[in-house]
Chains A and B, each alone.
Chain A
Amino acid sequence: MKAQSRRSRLMAMATALSVAGVLALSACGASDDESSQSTKKALVISLDSAVDVMDPQQWRTPASMVTSGSLVEQVIEQGYSKTGGVQVGGTDFNEALAEKWEYSKDGKTLTITLRDDLTFADGSPLTADDVVWSYQRGLEMATAYTKVLYPMVGLTKDSFIAVDPGTVEVTSEFGTPLLDKMLAMQPFGIFSKKAGEEHATSDDPWAGEWFRENNNSSGPYTVGAFDKTTSVQLTPNAKYYDQDKIANGGVTIQFISDPSQRALLLRNGEIDLAGGLPLDQVAELSKVDGLSVVSEASNRLEYLGLNTGKAPFDDKRVRRAISLALPYQTFVDEVLYGYADPASGLVSQSMETHAADSAAAFKTDLAEAEKLLAEAGVQGFSTTLSYKQSSAVEARAAVYIQSALKDLGIDVQVKPLPDAEFTQRTVARDLEMYLNNFLAWGADPFYQMASLAGSGAGTNFTNYANPALDKLLQQGFRSMEQADRDAISAEAQALLIEEMPTIPLWNPKWTYVVRDGVTGLTKDNTEQLRLQYLSKS
Chain B
Amino acid sequence: MLRYVLRRLLISAVTVIGLVLVTFLVVRVLPGDSAAARLGPEASQADIETLRTQLGLDDPLPRQLLDYSTGLLHGDMGPAVSTGRPVSDELLDRLPATIELAVAGLVIALLLGFPLGLLAAARPGRPSDALARLFAVLGSSMAPIWLGLLLIFGLYSTWQLFPGPVGRLPIGTPPPPEVTGLYVVDSLLAGDFALAGQSMQFLFLPALTLGLGASAAVLKMVRSAVLQTADSGFVRTARAYGVPGREVLLRDQLRNAMLQVLTAIGLVFGFLLGGNIIVERLFNWPGMGRVAYDALGSNDLGLLQGYALIIGTLYILLNLVVDLVYGLIDPRVRLGGSSS
Residues of A within 8 A of B (CB): 3, 7, 10-11, 14, 17-19, 22, 25-31, 33, 44, 50, 52-53, 60, 142-143, 145, 148, 208-209, 212-213, 225, 227-231, 233, 252, 254-258, 260-261, 264-265, 267-268, 270-271, 390, 418-421, 423-424, 426-427, 458-459
List residues 134-180 of chain B with CB under 8 A from any CB of chain A.
149, 152, 156-157, 159-162, 164-168, 170-172, 174
- A31-B198 contact given A252-B171, A261-B165, A268-B157, CB 8 Å threshold: yes
* Residue of B31, B90, B160, B294 touching A3 (CB-CB under 8 A): B160
Q: Is B170 a contact partner of A33 (Cβ separation < 8 A)? A: yes
Choose, from B12-20, B189-197, B221-229, B311-319, the stretch at the interface: B189-197
Q: Is A145 a contact partner of B40 (Cβ separation < 8 A)? A: yes
Q: Is A458 a contact partner of B32 (Cβ separation < 8 A)? A: no
* Residue of A29, A209, A231, A261 touching B198 (CB-CB under 8 A): A29
B68 in the interface (beta carbon within 8 A): no
Chain A residues, Cβ within 8 Å of B297:
390, 419-420
- Expressed in whole angstroms, the minimum distance between the Cβ of B26 and any Cβ of chain A is 14
Closest to B169 in A: A230
Choose, from B80-88, B233-241, B254-262, the stretch at the interface: B80-88
A213 to B168, CA, bound (A): 22
B299 in the interface (beta carbon within 8 A): yes
- A11-B161 contact given A28-B197, A459-B41, CB 8 Å threshold: yes
* Residue of A17, A31, A52, A271 touching B82 (CB-CB under 8 A): A52
A-B contact pairs, 26 of them (CB 8 A): A11-B162, A44-B172, A53-B84, A143-B39, A143-B51, A209-B84, A213-B85, A228-B83, A230-B167, A252-B172, A254-B171, A257-B284, A257-B290, A258-B281, A260-B149, A261-B152, A261-B282, A264-B164, A268-B164, A270-B166, A418-B31, A420-B37, A420-B296, A423-B299, A424-B36, A427-B36
* Residue of B40, B94, B201 touching A229 (CB-CB under 8 A): B94
* Residue of B32, B50, B172, B204 touching A420 (CB-CB under 8 A): B32
Q: Is A25 a contact partner of B197 (Cβ separation < 8 A)? A: yes
A252 to B47, CA, bound (A): 35
* Residue of B42, B82, B115, B197 touching A26 (CB-CB under 8 A): B197
- A254-B39 contact given A26-B201, A390-B297, CB 8 Å threshold: no
A467 to B176, CA, bound (A): 62
- Expressed in whole angstroms, the minimum distance between the Cβ of A180 and any Cβ of chain B is 21
B286 in the interface (beta carbon within 8 A): yes
List residues 282-296 of chain B with CB under 8 A from any CB of chain A.
282, 284, 286-287, 290-291, 293-294, 296
* Residue of B37, B193, B290, B294 touching A423 (CB-CB under 8 A): B37
Q: Is B193 a contact partner of A25 (Cβ separation < 8 A)? A: yes
Q: Is A254 a contact partner of B166 (Cβ separation < 8 A)? A: yes
* Residue of A19, A26, A458 touching B108 (CB-CB under 8 A): A19
- A420-B282 contact given A26-B204, A27-B197, CB 8 Å threshold: no
List residues 21-49 of chain B with CB under 8 A from any CB of chain A.
30-33, 36-44, 47
* Residue of B47, B160, B298 touching A142 (CB-CB under 8 A): B47
B103 in the interface (beta carbon within 8 A): no
A148 to B39, CA, bound (A): 12
A28-B193, A229-B290, A264-B156 are known; give 13 further A-B pairs, CB within 8 A: A10-B159, A14-B161, A19-B108, A29-B195, A252-B171, A254-B171, A257-B293, A265-B166, A268-B157, A420-B31, A424-B31, A424-B36, A458-B43
- Expressed in whole angstroms, the minimum distance between the Cβ of A525 and any Cβ of chain B is 17
Q: Is B160 a contact partner of A60 (Cβ separation < 8 A)? A: no
Q: Is A261 a contact partner of B284 (Cβ separation < 8 A)? A: yes
A60 to B34, CA, bound (A): 13
B112 in the interface (beta carbon within 8 A): yes
Chain B residues, Cβ within 8 Å of A271:
171
Q: Is B42 a contact partner of A458 (Cβ separation < 8 A)? A: yes
Chain A residues, Cβ within 8 Å of B94:
229
- Expressed in whole angstroms, the minimum distance between the Cβ of A215 and any Cβ of chain B is 15
A26 to B195, CA, bound (A): 9
Q: Is A18 a contact partner of B162 (Cβ separation < 8 A)? A: no
Closest to A269 in B: B164
Closest to A459 in B: B41
- Expressed in whole angstroms, the minimum distance between the Cβ of B8 and any Cβ of chain A is 33
Chain B residues, Cβ within 8 Å of A252:
171-172
Closest to B288 in A: A229
B92 in the interface (beta carbon within 8 A): no
- Expressed in whole angstroms, the minimum distance between the Cβ of B136 and any Cβ of chain A is 16
- Expressed in whole angstroms, the minimum distance between the Cβ of A163 and any Cβ of chain B is 32
* Residue of B42, B85, B298 touching A145 (CB-CB under 8 A): B42
Chain B residues, Cβ within 8 Å of A50:
294
B329 in the interface (beta carbon within 8 A): no
B72 in the interface (beta carbon within 8 A): no
Chain A residues, Cβ within 8 Å of B41:
423, 426-427, 458-459
- Expressed in whole angstroms, the minimum distance between the Cβ of B263 and any Cβ of chain A is 23
Q: Is B161 a contact partner of A60 (Cβ separation < 8 A)? A: no
Q: Is B84 a contact partner of A208 (Cβ separation < 8 A)? A: yes
Q: Is A53 a contact partner of B83 (Cβ separation < 8 A)? A: yes
A356 to B194, CA, bound (A): 63
B111 in the interface (beta carbon within 8 A): yes
- Expressed in whole angstroms, the minimum distance between the Cβ of B324 and any Cβ of chain A is 28
Q: Is A29 a contact partner of B197 (Cβ separation < 8 A)? A: yes
B200 in the interface (beta carbon within 8 A): yes
Q: Is A231 a contact partner of B31 (Cβ separation < 8 A)? A: no
- Expressed in whole angstroms, the minimum distance between the Cβ of B6 and any Cβ of chain A is 40
Q: Is B161 a contact partner of A7 (Cβ separation < 8 A)? A: yes
A228 to B174, CA, bound (A): 14
Chain A residues, Cβ within 8 Å of B160:
3, 7
A53 to B37, CA, bound (A): 15
A59 to B120, CA, bound (A): 56
Chain B residues, Cβ within 8 Å of A22:
200, 203-204
Chain A residues, Cβ within 8 Å of B82:
52, 60
Chain A residues, Cβ within 8 Å of B290:
229, 257
Which one of A18, A30, A270, A420 has the highest number of Cβ atoms from chain B below 10 Å of its Cβ? A420
Q: Is B111 a contact partner of A18 (Cβ separation < 8 A)? A: yes
Closest to B282 in A: A258
A231 to B286, CA, bound (A): 10
Closest to B48 in A: A427
Q: Is B172 a contact partner of A233 (Cβ separation < 8 A)? A: yes
Q: Is B36 a contact partner of A459 (Cβ separation < 8 A)? A: no
- Expressed in whole angstroms, the minimum distance between the Cβ of B28 and any Cβ of chain A is 14
Q: Is B161 a contact partner of A423 (Cβ separation < 8 A)? A: no
A357 to B164, CA, bound (A): 50
Closest to A224 in B: B172
A88 to B82, CA, bound (A): 32
Q: Is B36 a contact partner of A142 (Cβ separation < 8 A)? A: no
Chain A residues, Cβ within 8 Å of B32:
420-421, 423-424
Closest to B198 in A: A29
A474 to B38, CA, bound (A): 29
- Expressed in whole angstroms, the minimum distance between the Cβ of B283 and any Cβ of chain A is 8
Chain A residues, Cβ within 8 Å of B85:
212-213
Chain A residues, Cβ within 8 Å of B50:
142
A427 to B34, CA, bound (A): 13
Q: Is A143 a contact partner of B200 (Cβ separation < 8 A)? A: no
Which one of B108, B166, B204 has the highest number of Cβ atoms from chain A below 10 Å of its Cβ? B166
A60 to B300, CA, bound (A): 12
A28 to B286, CA, bound (A): 23
Chain A residues, Cβ within 8 Å of B199:
29
Cβ-closest 9 pairs across A and B: A29-B197, A229-B286, A420-B299, A29-B198, A28-B197, A420-B32, A18-B111, A458-B42, A421-B31
A466 to B280, CA, bound (A): 49
Q: Is A29 a contact partner of B200 (Cβ separation < 8 A)? A: yes
- Expressed in whole angstroms, the minimum distance between the Cβ of B243 and any Cβ of chain A is 28
Closest to B170 in A: A33
- Expressed in whole angstroms, the minimum distance between the Cβ of A464 and any Cβ of chain B is 16
- A28-B196 contact given A252-B171, A421-B31, A423-B32, CB 8 Å threshold: yes
Closest to B286 in A: A229
